Amino acid sequence: MTREEIQNGLSEILEEVAGVNPDDVSEEKSFTEDLEVDSLSMVEVVVAAEEKFGVKIPDDAVQDLRTVGDAITFIEKAAA
């Protein structure tokens, strides 16, 4: 999976569970501050991402995933 493919997958999830416009999603965007994903929606995003990318994202890793780029990097490594 390329970083772009992961970003596109995350965009789909963010649109579905949190109503985020895919055009607003880019690597430097913060989930909570820029994309306004609240804590409970973030739980949904994580669970959906685990399913979509076939990875495990432990709860204690989630707090370090501040930006979309952080999440892409985590998923890239976890899927490798």
Partner 1 sequence: MSSIDVVVTGLGATTPLGADVASTWDGMLTGRSGVHALEEEWAGDLPVRIAASLAEDPTTHFDRVLLRRLDRSEQIALIAARQAWADAGFAPKDGGEGDSLDRERLAVTFGTGIGGALTLLAQDDILETRGPRKVSPFTIPMLMPNGPAAWVGLELGALAGVHSPASACATGAEAIAMGLDVIRSGRADVVVAGGTESVIAPLPIAGFAAMRALSTRNDEPERASRPWDKNRDGFVLGEGAGALVLERADHARARGARIYARLAGAGLSSDGFDIVQPHPDGQIRAMRLALENAGVSPSDVHHINAHATSTPVGDMLEVEAIRKAIGDHPVLTSTKSMTGHLLGAAGAVESIATVLAVHHGVVPPTLNLDDPDEALDLDVAAGKPRDLQINVAINNSFGFGGHNVALVFQRA
Active site residues: 38
Tokens of 45: 């995003």
Residue 44 within binding range of partner 1, rule CB under 8 A: yes
Residues 8-37 that bind partner 1 (CB under 8 A): 16-19
How would DSSP label each residue in the chain? --HHHHHHHHHHHHHHHH---GGG--TT-BTTTTS---HHHHHHHHHHHHHHHT----HHHHTT--BHHHHHHHHHHHH-
Q: Shortest gap between Cβ of 78 and partner 1 (angstroms)?
A: 16
Kindly state whether residue 40 participates in binding partner 1, applying the rule CB under 8 A. Answer: yes
Could you tell me the smallest distance in angstroms from the CB atom of residue 30 to partner 1?
19
By the criterion CB under 8 A, which residues form the site for partner 1? Answer: 16-19, 40-41, 43-44, 47, 50
